[in-house]
Chain A
Amino acid sequence: QEKEELIEEWQPEPLVPPIPKDHPALNYNIVSGPPSHIITVNGKKCINFASFNFLGLLDNEKVKSAAQASLKKYGVGTCGPRGFYGTFDVHLELEERLAKFMRTEEAIIYSYGFATIASAIPAYSKRGDIVFVDEAACFAIQKGLQASRSNIKLFKHNDMTDLERLLKEQETEDQKNPRKARVTRRFIVVEGLYMNTGDVCPLPELIKMKYKYKVRIFLEESLSFGVLGEHGRGITEHFGINIDDIDLISANMENSLASIGGFCCGRSFIIDHQRLSGQGYCFSASLPPLLAAAAIEALNIMEDNPDIFQTLRAKCERIHKALQGISGLKVVGESFSPALHLQLEESCGSRENDVKLLKRVVDYCVNSGVALTQARYLEKEEKCLPPPSIRVVITVEQTEQELDKAASLLKEAAQSVLN
């Protein structure tokens, strides 16, 4: 009888709390038409400085015609996961081409960029293993680590002394319990070019630490694939490191390759394991063949024109220099990074107000013909929330006049809004 009363009385919370109408993340920008170099945002035509279309392949005619041919042959969807008649010859071809391009033994494709690293990490690292990860790691890495249930040790962004300290502490722990240490796997997860800060990781020192402390390295190259290095092979080419020294390289094809999905490459010993234990691979439908064909064609273009990487880097340097000295905003990121952040030099107290201020700067720019966006984060879920910023993306299609125009517009906007 009591039980009936308890059941009557219990009131649950509402399923979702109500959202105020003017929440900054609620009203999306509507883009009419393709998100290419000239983009129509909320009805205004602007130059696109917000989509990660680094090599300008989103609008490329060859890529589109390859995708059209594949559409005529295979239709749109694959209607099944890789294990059950969802493996097409285009998938196998793309995996071979990626492995050959990155000069590794094997590659594996996922149908969603976020799921790539979020499925790869839990496939190797389980409960009881130890993962050393940089503070500024992106959200997908954080979710992968959460799903893996391993012990996570954060080290300060790009700080090798901090990492060394953590590794030494782990070593002393191991000496106390050698039996456990013999079965505990250790990993370091870093990004080639960090999305949240625009820096590169110091890979040569990491390799030294790898062999000194016997830790495996997982490298996430979403922004650096197709950007760094002489032929676009990423940060290993940039620093001249043997690719076999890195245990696993994961990247998504949604930035430079202007397609959808992601891939992991490395030695067969490591990659083959994901074919049975990568959750996003086994339990999800495979990549639609037209997107795989678009990626193959994009790879072809990358291989045939190796000078676009140099052009892109030159443009990044140019705008990096032009954006220095704007009063009120500081540039965060390496000079050759195509995705920079502009943060407020002085915060005005609360994050909400900073966000509102930056929104006014962005709106001013959009109204004058340059499309920018604020970098979006889930404030309550991130481990180390970066400060609010405007994201500036440089693509190879932007001309020098457009770069200069954007820089001067930002100066104007900062002047009018922040002063």
Chain B
Amino acid sequence: INHIVHNGGLYKRPFNEAFEETPMLVAVLTYVGYGVLTLFGYLRDFMRQWKIEKCQNATERDEQKDFVPLYQDFENFYNRNLYMRIRDSWNRPICSVPGAKVDMMERVSHDYNWTFTYTGRVIKGIINMGSYNYLGFAQKEGTCQEAAAKVLSQYGAGVCSTRQEMGNLDKHEELEKLVARFLGVESAMTYGMGFATNSMNIPALVGKGCLILSDELNHASLVLGARLSGATIRIFKHNNMQSLEKLLKDAIVHGQPRTRRPWKKILILVEGIYSMEGSIVRLPEVVALKKKYKSYLYLDEAHSIGALGPSGRGVVDYFGLNPEDVDVMMGTFTKSFGAAGGYIGGKKELIDYLRTYSHSAVYATSMSPPVVEQIITSMKCIMGEDGTTVGKARVQQLAENTRYFRRRLKEMGFIIYGNEDSPVVPLMLYMPAKIGAFGREMLKRNIGVVVVGFPATPIIESRARFCLSAAHTKEMLDTALKEINEVGDLLQLKYSRHRLVPLLDRPFDETTYEETED
């Protein structure tokens, strides 16, 4: 049973999001699995300490042996004993453009993943379901690459100065005007790194005496930015609007914790698509709440810009809302535009303020010119301003791929989290052994997937995450689906019992909020 929210007609299309509950047996077996691994971990540590087994990780210098130890032993327990066993699923080196198919350098380990050696062979033509290449702009030929090559030969690769000093090129001004037009806002500003955009601008916007309401599953950059700002942080349950409303009411009625003075500002931090869950933020409801309680909204569209919406303008376009309702629209260029960097868009006063007070404008180097050109060309392509319909076709292809892939996986019986329209597809694995096994089996069949476990996800909810791309053709998706089916039968991953829990029926308990004051 899928849940369709009506809520006074705020939603113009059905919002189908579901998180199937973990089957009880699977949860128990997962805990048992971790227990066994922990026991073995203690045993191996014991053997290493008593020199029965050789210690293979790097150690401190002899001259510094009497210094205070740099790492506490238990901090690295997880690293040494659990992560090391399946380390080959991550940091896989590739040597071609990260498009729909990729070439990977083969590496083997003769000592159980402590060290890797490269055989020199290259595995060609692996179907890439791991790179964030939503619209397929990671290409090594085409208009974008040619334009970037021209700019590279004219401007060079680096900039060697900050925005406020001598690093503001005419290309940056052009890009900012284009981004503002793309998003439908008054003005925009761009930065060299998406992570840094959050961690350097949130402190410029809020400070002590302000309140930040942040979603449970926000990205590390948002959490770091919120912490560095010095404001009070309260966390609401993931995508849960009652939780958010309760926090807003309490905040305005009770004021600051000790002094009872009213808050200076309230900022709500949400993301467009959450990359580990595949869920889309309930933006119409958030905007309604924000207007009712007079707070400000900061939307991080790292994954949703370009990937959602009939014309690719992100989650605001997807819901058909007015971009002016979102106070701060932030996003990154790494995912859908095939470049690097981040942007913030909003009203002119906001952007003028950021130009003067953003940490990045004063102390960090500006974006590299060929990267800027790549963004300009790809953005024009998506908007259709380059005279072709390639952009629109890609956006539609991505939407079709998403629906097809999710439908087929659900039919096969896997547990898939998230919204039906999100191109990020998490497939639940749960058990620690299956994390490594899934990654390796899929690689044997020439499909590259991303597996994630603790600490990026809760400890029993490890998953494999597929990122769909407009560059994936139907044949590639069919091949991938066939292999996933095989591996799913082999590893017994088809947990789903088609019992989808409607969202509002989940028990809503009293929100406990964490306050952090630096």
Contact = CB atoms under 8 A, between A and B. Distances in A.
State yes or no: do A and B come from one complex: yes
Interface of A: 3, 6-7, 10-19, 23, 25-26, 28-36, 39, 41, 48, 50-53, 57-59, 63-64, 67-68, 71-80, 82-89, 91-92, 111-115, 118, 124, 138-140, 143, 146-147, 149, 181-186, 211, 214, 216, 244, 252, 254-255, 257-260, 267-270, 272-273, 275-276, 279-280, 282-285, 287-288, 290-291, 294, 371, 373-378, 381, 391
B253 A376 contact: no
13 contacts: A7-B252, A12-B296, A30-B169, A59-B156, A71-B152, A78-B340, A89-B105, A139-B359, A182-B68, A184-B68, A260-B159, A285-B334, A381-B359
Given A12-B264, A113-B365, A288-B339, A85 B131 contact: yes
B66 interface: yes
A105 to B, nearest CB: 8
Given A59-B156, A73-B140, 12 more contacts: A3-B253, A26-B356, A28-B355, A30-B173, A34-B155, A71-B370, A76-B144, A76-B338, A89-B95, A112-B364, A139-B359, A284-B193
Contact of A76 (B169, B296, B339): B339
A64 B249 contact: no
Contact of B91 (A64, A83, A376): A83
A290 B102 contact: no
Contacts of A118: 199
Contacts of A257: 158
B130 A15 contact: no
A203 to B, nearest CB: 17
Contacts of A92: 93
B230 to A, nearest CB: 9
A287 B334 CA distance: 11
A6 B294 CA distance: 12
A276 B352 contact: no
Given A6-B253, A214-B67, A260-B192, A36 B156 contact: yes
Among B224, B264, B334: residue with most chain A CB under 10 A: B334
Contact of B262 (A10, A17, A284): A10
Contact of A15 (B152, B153, B265): B265
Contacts of A79: 98, 131-133, 138, 334-335, 338
Contact of A143 (B66, B165, B359): B359
Contacts of A85: 92, 94, 98, 102, 128, 130-131, 448, 450
A279 B223 CA distance: 11
Contacts, number: 350
Interface in B190-224: 192-196, 199-200, 205, 219-221, 224
B196 A18 contact: no
B97 interface: yes
B59 A269 contact: yes
Nearest to A25: B356
A78 B195 contact: no
B71 interface: yes
Nearest to A82: B91
B152 A28 contact: no
Given A13-B264, A19-B349, A376-B165, A147 B152 contact: no
Contact of A30 (B141, B168, B249, B365): B168
B425 interface: no
Nearest to B72: A183
B365 A254 contact: yes
A371 B163 CA distance: 15
